[in-house]
Structure 1
């Protein structure tokens, strides 16, 4: 389950845990699969036992299904869960699996009905085929995720997979800039290749700053051209992009956050001092803090310290941006913003 369902999907804790795995197993055991006749109710998960799991013949499985769905309530020594856990299995586990398209239900059956109604979606059940080799499974998982998971969840999963790579490159113009492995580099790549393309008309990357290489030599010409004096010993943003489109020149300072270090009021003042060295006014500067997502612990940790008047961009919502409007700077009413 954990190999199939990313941890960043909504309610993933209920869809990836041992109870979810046991619920899916019971559906498989009872032939509760799209295209088969079996269906289950939550109480069937509670009465399954380790001993029963070993009875794998079709006759044994169908006999068990008839027994647990029958009018009598026999004793099940070693049952997985107590009777009163059937509602959490229904409301948490099965609901989470339904939300991502792994489980479906017979329509028109009341929630309070004892009639069995839940079953596995066929494309999800196909992922559980033990005869699949690793390559086949990875391909089917990718197809299933694309079909059923929200775009943001897919993006976050992609970011997580990129973190494990040893070769991370940020591409802009004709440059393929190498980065050290890690989440910060992956978010920097997203900021340059996705954020800048979505929100800037004609972006030019002036600086990518890394702890091991504060100012790479390839950025020197661009910085010199606008007269921006960079001192590696002083405050530097993670990324500086120039907007050079038809609306005029603008310097965009970007901080990449995966632990701390957003555009705070203090950091904003220091970056404005840096811009003044290039004869740029505050109106010609834009400040952006980048996070993986709104659910990222890093965002929750620092959100109260992000500067007013700045922007926040989340990699898993690439076409949206959060503006912390300061009415002192922007003489707007709520109607102007809506």
Structure 2
């Protein structure tokens, strides 16, 4: 093997992966964790790059040692590539991982991560049961780890790679998450279903709120209207008591009021939708759902005509991961970055249909 590309260390690769795969990238965790950096390092170490005729597999990653990774001369790298697949091979030193990481490398980091986003190619003529190496970094992806790239040149190259490689949906999702996460400086203008508009202070919460009113409501409700809307700090943005009373609901000033109350006037009996906006915390958990149910029943609104939605920026973001295990059964989760989908946490005893 002739190695033509110098190699960054694993820490430097890990740092670059955070930029190459920004917040909003599908399966971002699989592409940015340390195991992903180890995988890229191992591939570069043996020269498994598209067009080279060299391929690698999970063992190339979990057999790597701290000491071996520091031997970056061509001879050491060629020796590792030539011997790593041998049954009794052991590189000198302490391993990065145990053999049991094989499935995580293969199924998560490679197949669901790098292969899915176009960073790694896979040989299709190798049987799935074969232990032969089948993966290689795409040439364009491998080029992002050239040590000769300074920070500015790398940033330009990474942005170019994203634009050319990530599919339209993934790229749009990244753009939405970036916009929501960094929103600041200018007022967020929200347009209501009736055509009215209100200004909200800049920030991620307001960006999520805007998407709930302008995207979620018209997509999932037949004839949507906004009964109540607030922003962080308990400032009331809008409140429509006349419309609420017309459907038999009385909105009282209450600490349990959600961030937004929507109503669908399309069905024969209106549907009341309580929405919590989560930029950091505060999802509809079981305790919160019970409080909102009491709010509805106290106002004389039947629970069978109510729904509970927690709105997040993205399902790969920290706020969702932090709160997913606390979301109430019988509620929904919606994501700005994937607006056409709706996650239902069903506790229906009938099970799957």
Scaled by the length of structure 1, the TM-score of the pair is 0.69
- Deviation of 1:264 after TM superposition, in Å, equals 1.8
Deviation at 1:162?
A: 1.3
In structure 2, the residue matched to 1:162 is 180
SS at the partner of 2:19? coil
- State how far apart, in whole Å, the 2-side matches of 1:157 and 1:317 are: 14
Q: 1:14 to 1:268 in 2, by over 3 A?
A: same
In structure 2, do the counterparts of structure 1 residues 170 and 160 end up closer, same or farther at CA, with 3 Å as the change threshold? same
**Aligned-residue offset at 1:76:** 5.2
Map of 1:120 onto structure 2? 137
What is residue 178 of structure 1 aligned with on the other side? 200
**TM-score w.r.t. structure 2 length?**
0.67
Deviations 1:246-289 (A, max 9, x none): 75644433233553452523321223334x4xxxx427942222
The aligned counterpart of 2:6 is none
Change (3 A) 1:231 1:246: closer
1:318 is aligned, of 316, 325, 340, to: 340
Structure 1 residue 301 and structure 2 residue 326: aligned? yes
CA-atom RMSD in angstroms: 4.1
Counterpart in the other structure of 2:71: 52
C-alpha distance after superposition, 1:48-101 (max 9, x if no partner): 734422x3xxxx2xx445423446989855x5626x73562x422243223221
Paired residues of 1:209 and 1:239 also in contact (CA < 8 A): yes
Mean alpha-carbon deviation: is it higher for 264-273 or for 227-236?
227-236
| Residue in 2 that maps onto 1:330 | none
Quick one: structure 1 residues 41 and 271, their matched pair in 2 at CA, closer, same or farther if it must change by over 3 Å? closer
Q: Which moved more, 1:33-42 or 1:64-73?
A: 64-73
Is 1:24–2:45 an aligned residue pair?
no
Q: Does 2:110 align with 1:97?
A: yes
Q: Which residue number corresponds to residue 296 of structure 2?
A: 271
Per the alignment, do residues 268 and 142 of structure 1 end up closer, same or farther by CA in structure 2, a change over 3 Å counting? Answer: farther
CA distance in 1, matches of 2:221, 2:270: 11
Which whole-Å CA distance do the structure 2 matches of 1:325 and 1:261 have between them? 18
Equivalent residue, structure 1, for 2:165: 144
Q: What is the CA distance between 1:206 and its match in structure 2?
A: 2.9
Q: Report the CA distance shift for 1:236/1:322 in structure 2 as closer, same or farther (over 3 A).
A: same
Say if 2:228 is the partner of 1:214: no
Alpha carbons of structure 1 residues 171 and 94: separation in structure 2 relative to 1, 3 Å? farther
Give the 3-state SS of the residue equivalent to 1:288 in structure 2. Answer: strand
Q: 1:243 aligns with which of 260, 264, 273?
A: 264
Q: What is the aligned partner in structure 2 of residue 67 from structure 1?
A: 79
| Unpaired runs of at least 5, structure 2 | 1-16
In structure 1, stretches of 5+ residues that fail to align are: 328-333
Separation in 2 of the partners of 1:249 and 1:85?
Answer: 57
Larger radius of gyration: 1
Cα offset for 1:224?
A: 3.4
